[in-house]
Structure 1
Amino acid sequence: MRIDTIIENARVLTGDPARPVARRIGIWSGRIIGLDEQLDGARAETLLDAGGAVVSPGFNDAHAHSVWFGQTLSELDLAAAMTPEDVYRAVAARAAAGDEAATGQRDWIVASGFNPLGMSGSVDRDALDRAAGGRPVWIKHASGHAYTLGGAGLRLVGIGDGPATDPDGGVIARDEAGRPTGLLEENAMRIVQDVLLPDPVAAIEEALGRASAQYAREGLTSVTDAGIAGGWIGHSPREFAAYQGARDRGLLRTRMQAMVVLDALHDLGGHRDDPDAIGLGAGIRSGVGDEWLQIGPVKVFTDGSLLGATAAMTEDYAHDHGNHGYLQGDPDEMRARVLRAAAGGWALALHAIGDAAVDFALDLIDEAQRLHGVGPMPSRIEHGGVVRPDQLDRMAALGVVLVPQARFIAEYGDGMAARLGAERTRRSYPAASVLRAGGLLAGSSDRPVAPGAPLPIVQALVERVTESGAPYGPDERLTVEQAMRVCTAGSAEATGWGGQKGVIAPGMLADLVVLGDDPHAVPVDRIGAIDVVATIVGGEAVHGALSAR
């Protein structure tokens, strides 16, 4: 038998309990055809020598924002800003450089990665105007749930200095005199987007290319974009077409799945016997596509963010008595639209960070499954900033995947713990208790809200320590083996690709990562620093290379 490729001299960590290690991998037509003795007698067009390197299943990020991330790679980066003065200096430098064309927003200075949590003082709109020389400034918060604008920007999007009505599910922050401060939370961000979006399709394609190239360098072979084409997270009504264009142009080095935002779905006609439903034209729904590009669940925002103290809790925030967050819309209206999406055949991915929002999301999924059956791929709870034990049991019973972000703990854990208090911190972004309850757990980043390289995420799942080194829910720590599985096979199952990828076994897609060391063998605090030697998708190297012979 003649096949395409055999990788030899490898330390293969298969992720398959039935056969955890191997030395050789055979690949044909983009899939794994056999291991070790299963390849006896086979001849390959290409023999690759791994040189004793570790080969693992490729990593899958079940929740990222690829277009947004790709855009940040050309925007002003404020991730290192620790004081308002740091922000002003960076804005002034960008204004002096005069390179607004890099962001695609004429005359605007666009910045990303801003994290006000722990910053000494607040950014002042008038100081922003002075730093920018009068140009409008648009600062995107790292949480993804707020913007900060200077006064010039506020005026251009129609927010004056007088009284203004907050939009449903959003806040226009004001000072004691009632003057807008420049901070726009949650649905108030749409005011900016209504003026500055949509982005050109070609620009979205380029952003996807930049993101995908970085994914490949980090060992990611599959990524799910958690919200396109609508709402405050989308960039254009044609966003999936941009994904298709990026694929046609050869810009995608990783497999991609995209969630369409609930707002982008519209009424569907049909026979009188068909259920009342919303969806995309021609009844397109979750599952359309192939192993390279696919439409995933519908993305639904039920509440806000933990960093912004807008996530819906059953109890007040520890640092802000009287505030327990809020849902992002009228509950009855959200329920009606979600059920109509389920009637149209959509799997559900519900952003729910506070435990009150998790209750609401689980009620919706439960009702949708009773009325319309289980969707074409698993339904999901995105984030789970605070999850009670009874909710974990209910998730397991319903087959709902939890998609938390362990890297949030390493980046923002001290501030989150201060908002939650000790008891809720123990239940925050759970991992081990999900597995103990028999639930499904997926690895993800929410990039660019937090850094997205997968090996540091594995480390964060094992360590669970904050940026200051304090333990954060230590009972939720995973073993290295569990963490590796969560970020490979777990994410594959979450996205409907269980049994197709995430494990190195015959019949699986040949998505592999070659590592400079074994994550199980190095000290835990060194896992994130392991070198990614090569990334292979469908049997083809998209980053690095192995020696051919």
Structure 2
Amino acid sequence: MHIDLIFSHARIRTGWSQRPVASAVGVWQGVVVGFDEQLDGMTADTEVNGRGAFLMAGFNDAHAHSVWYGQTLSETDLTGATDRSQVYEKVTQASGDDSDASAWLIAAGFDPLALDAPLELDALDRAAHGRPLLIKHASGHAYTVNGVGLEAVGIGRYPHARIDGGVIATDDEGRATGLLEENAMRPVQDVLQPDPLLEISRALDRATTAYARQGLTSVTDAGVGGGWIGHSPREFAAYQDAHEHGMLSTRIQAMITSDVLHPVHGHRTEGPFTGLDAGIRCGLGDDRLQIGPMKLFVDGSLLGGTAAVTEPYCGHDTGHGYLQGDPDAMTATITGAVHAGWAIATHAIGDRGLDLALDMLERATAESHRTPPMPHRIEHGGVVRPEQLPRIKSLGAALVPQPMFIAAYGDGMAEKLGDRRTLLSYPAASVLRAGITLPGSSDRPVAEGAPLRVIQAFVERTTQTGRAYGPDERISVDQALSAYTTGSARATGWAARKGHLAPGMLADFVVLSDDPREVPTNTIGQIGVLSTWVGGECTFTAEQPVRR
């Protein structure tokens, strides 16, 4: 038999219980056909000698933002800024990059918790040389805009507007500070968006090209098409365009934000139906591009203190965060979507937000007989009380935490939560003990998204200064590898086709310079990605594969 690819002389972790290890794998028409002796007598169009490298199922990031990330790659980068003078200097440098004095300056990767002092509105105006300035916070839940920008979007320097589910920050004199939280970001987006579809497609090209270099073969984008996280009402069309023009280097599942869904009229016997026109719902697509769950934001950000918690943040008398909308309205949206067959992905970072998310899902699923094509999900879990885990389990939902937040922002989060709640923050080991699906995810570009770096964070759970952060929630390297492969496949409804290597499974794999289980844990993130393969096709190689 002649097949497409034989990759041999490798140390293969299949993730398949019937055959955990192998040294050669064969691929035909995008799927695995066998291992080792099963390939005897076979020839292939491409034969690659792995030279003893480590091969495993490709990494699957179950929560990222590819368009947002792809755009940051062409914006002014404020990552790592710890002194506000650094911010002003970078803005000043960028202000001369465009001949149009009215063109917006856009910067990304800003972490206000790492800064020595808050940014000043007048200083931002001076640095931008009269141009409107937008600084995207790394959390994704806030902007900082200069005075010129506030005037341009109609907020003004002395705002009077009140925005449901958001805050326009002001000082004691009622003057805007430039900080816009949550839904208060929308006036800026109303001016700057929608983005052109071609720009969105190019951002996807840049993002997925970077993903392939890091061993990613699948990614779920957590919210497109609307809300403050979307880029255009036509956004999914840009994904289709990118797919059709060969611009996606990874498989993509795209969640649709709840803002896009609406009641759809049907037969009187069919009950409420919240979805897209023509009855389109999650699951539509193929193994390259698929519509994922509906994404609904229950609360805000732990970094910004806007996530809804039951006890106040440390250092605040009344700082409990807040919900993103009216609970009854959110419940109606979720109930209608579940009736229509949608899986629900609820962004719930604070434990009070998680209480509401579980209440809504329990009510909606109890009233519906529809089974969605993929599990319901809880995104993030910044604070999860022990009694909430059985409720997640009973729903068959996945919990999707981001351990890289600990490595990137752990000191600031611990300061806001205090010692006791830090033990409950972004859990992993207790999730597995409870029998809940634990996927691998990054929330990139909120935090760095290289899978090997995130796997190291899963295992070590130490902050940027080396402080242990909920050490009882550490998991083993093998468990972390499983989270980024089989766990993510289960969470996204693809466990039957990907996540491990076995005959009939999609031939998605990554080749590494070392086995992450056999190196010191503090070096896992430094392991080299030698090549990445999607459906048996090489999407990245550090050097030309050796062909016999």
Deviates more, 1:407-416 or 1:330-339: 330-339
What is the letter of the counterpart of residue 190 of structure 2? Answer: D
The 8 Å contact of residues 230 and 264 in structure 1, kept in 2 or not, is answered as yes
Q: Structure 1 residue 417 and structure 2 residue 414: aligned? A: yes
- TM-score under structure 1 length normalisation: 0.98
Aligned mate of 1:274, from 270, 275, 278 = 270
Structure 2 partner of 1:362 = 358
Deviation at 1:136? 0.5
Structure 2 partner of 1:233 = 229
Structure 1 partner of 2:381 = 384
Deviates more, 1:335-344 or 1:136-145: 335-344
Q: SS where residue 351 of structure 1 aligns?
A: strand
Structure 2 partner of 1:65 = 65
Q: Structure 1 residue 296 and structure 2 residue 292: aligned? A: yes
The 8 Å contact of residues 459 and 528 in structure 1, kept in 2 or not, is answered as yes
What is the letter of the counterpart of residue 240 of structure 1? Answer: F
- Whole-Å Cα distance in 2 between the matches of residues 81 and 125 of structure 1? 17
Alignment of 1:124-139 (within 5 A): 124-139=120-135
Alignment of 1:337-356 (within 5 A): 337-356=333-352
Aligned mate of 1:305, from 301, 304, 325 = 301
Deviation at 1:15? 1.4
- Whole-Å Cα distance in 1 between the matches of residues 510 and 102 of structure 2? 40
- Encode CA deviations 1:86-125: one digit per residue, 9 max, x unaligned: 110000001123378xxxx971100000000131111111
Q: SS where residue 448 of structure 2 aligns?
A: coil
Q: Structure 1 residue 171 and structure 2 residue 167: aligned? A: yes
The 8 Å contact of residues 369 and 375 in structure 1, kept in 2 or not, is answered as no
- Encode CA deviations 1:204-260: one digit per residue, 9 max, x unaligned: 000000001000000000001000000000000000000000111111010001000
Q: Structure 1 residue 336 and structure 2 residue 335: aligned? A: no
Q: Structure 1 residue 151 and structure 2 residue 147: aligned? A: yes
- Whole-Å Cα distance in 1 between the matches of residues 445 and 158 of structure 2? 34
Q: SS where residue 41 of structure 1 aligns?
A: coil
What is the letter of the counterpart of residue 389 of structure 1? Answer: P
What is the letter of the counterpart of residue 512 of structure 1? Answer: F
The 8 Å contact of residues 402 and 441 in structure 1, kept in 2 or not, is answered as yes
What is the letter of the counterpart of residue 200 of structure 2? Answer: I
Structure 2 partner of 1:285 = 281
The 8 Å contact of residues 138 and 153 in structure 1, kept in 2 or not, is answered as yes
What is the letter of the counterpart of residue 78 of structure 1? Answer: L
The 8 Å contact of residues 102 and 132 in structure 2, kept in 1 or not, is answered as no
- Whole-Å Cα distance in 1 between the matches of residues 156 and 515 of structure 2? 57
What is the letter of the counterpart of residue 32 of structure 1? Answer: V
Structure 1 partner of 2:456 = 459
- Encode CA deviations 1:358-398: one digit per residue, 9 max, x unaligned: 11111111122212233221000000000011111111122
- Whole-Å Cα distance in 1 between the matches of residues 249 and 36 of structure 2? 28
- Whole-Å Cα distance in 1 between the matches of residues 106 and 47 of structure 2? 48
Deviates more, 1:203-212 or 1:319-328: 319-328
Q: SS where residue 440 of structure 1 aligns?
A: coil
What is the letter of the counterpart of residue 135 of structure 1? Answer: R
Alignment of 1:213-232 (within 5 A): 213-232=209-228
The 8 Å contact of residues 220 and 254 in structure 1, kept in 2 or not, is answered as yes
Q: Structure 1 residue 497 and structure 2 residue 498: aligned? A: no
Deviation at 1:271? 1.2
The 8 Å contact of residues 342 and 372 in structure 1, kept in 2 or not, is answered as yes
- Whole-Å Cα distance in 2 between the matches of residues 118 and 451 of structure 1? 16
Deviates more, 1:405-414 or 1:493-502: 493-502
Aligned mate of 1:481, from 478, 482, 486 = 478
Q: CA RMSD in A?
A: 1.2
- Whole-Å Cα distance in 2 between the matches of residues 179 and 61 of structure 1? 41
Q: SS where residue 115 of structure 2 aligns?
A: coil
- TM-score under structure 2 length normalisation: 0.98
Deviation at 1:49? 0.8
- Whole-Å Cα distance in 2 between the matches of residues 80 and 97 of structure 1? 22
What is the letter of the counterpart of residue 130 of structure 1? Answer: R
- Whole-Å Cα distance in 2 between the matches of residues 19 and 207 of structure 1? 39
- Whole-Å Cα distance in 2 between the matches of residues 483 and 321 of structure 1? 38
Deviation at 1:267? 2.1
Structure 2 partner of 1:34 = 34
Percent identity over the alignment is 59
Count of residues paired in the alignment: 545
Structure 1 partner of 2:185 = 189
What is the letter of the counterpart of residue 50 of structure 2? Answer: A
- Encode CA deviations 1:423-448: one digit per residue, 9 max, x unaligned: 11001000000001111111100000
- Encode CA deviations 1:255-312: one digit per residue, 9 max, x unaligned: 0010000001122111111221121121100000000000000000000000001101
Q: Structure 1 residue 140 and structure 2 residue 131: aligned? A: no
Deviates more, 1:18-27 or 1:456-465: 18-27
- Whole-Å Cα distance in 2 between the matches of residues 376 and 503 of structure 1? 20
- Whole-Å Cα distance in 2 between the matches of residues 288 and 357 of structure 1? 29
- Whole-Å Cα distance in 1 between the matches of residues 170 and 102 of structure 2? 27
Aligned mate of 1:375, from 367, 372, 377 = 372
- Whole-Å Cα distance in 2 between the matches of residues 411 and 67 of structure 1? 21
What is the letter of the counterpart of residue 441 of structure 2? Answer: S
Alignment of 1:4-15 (within 5 A): 4-15=4-15
Q: Structure 1 residue 54 and structure 2 residue 37: aligned? A: no
What is the letter of the counterpart of residue 3 of structure 2? Answer: I
- Whole-Å Cα distance in 2 between the matches of residues 304 and 163 of structure 1? 22
Q: SS where residue 486 of structure 2 aligns?
A: helix
Deviates more, 1:83-92 or 1:43-52: 43-52
- Whole-Å Cα distance in 2 between the matches of residues 528 and 80 of structure 1? 19
What is the letter of the counterpart of residue 7 of structure 1? Answer: F
Cα–Cα, structure 1 residues 392 and 61, in superposed 2: closer, same or farther, change >3 Å? same
Structure 2 stretches lacking a partner, 5+ long: none
Q: SS where residue 421 of structure 1 aligns?
A: helix
- Whole-Å Cα distance in 2 between the matches of residues 55 and 433 of structure 1? 29
Structure 1 partner of 2:509 = 512
- Encode CA deviations 1:69-95: one digit per residue, 9 max, x unaligned: 000000000012112111100000011
What is the letter of the counterpart of residue 57 of structure 2? Answer: P
Q: SS where residue 37 of structure 2 aligns?
A: helix
Deviation at 1:163? 4.1
The 8 Å contact of residues 81 and 114 in structure 2, kept in 1 or not, is answered as no
Q: Structure 1 residue 116 and structure 2 residue 112: aligned? A: yes
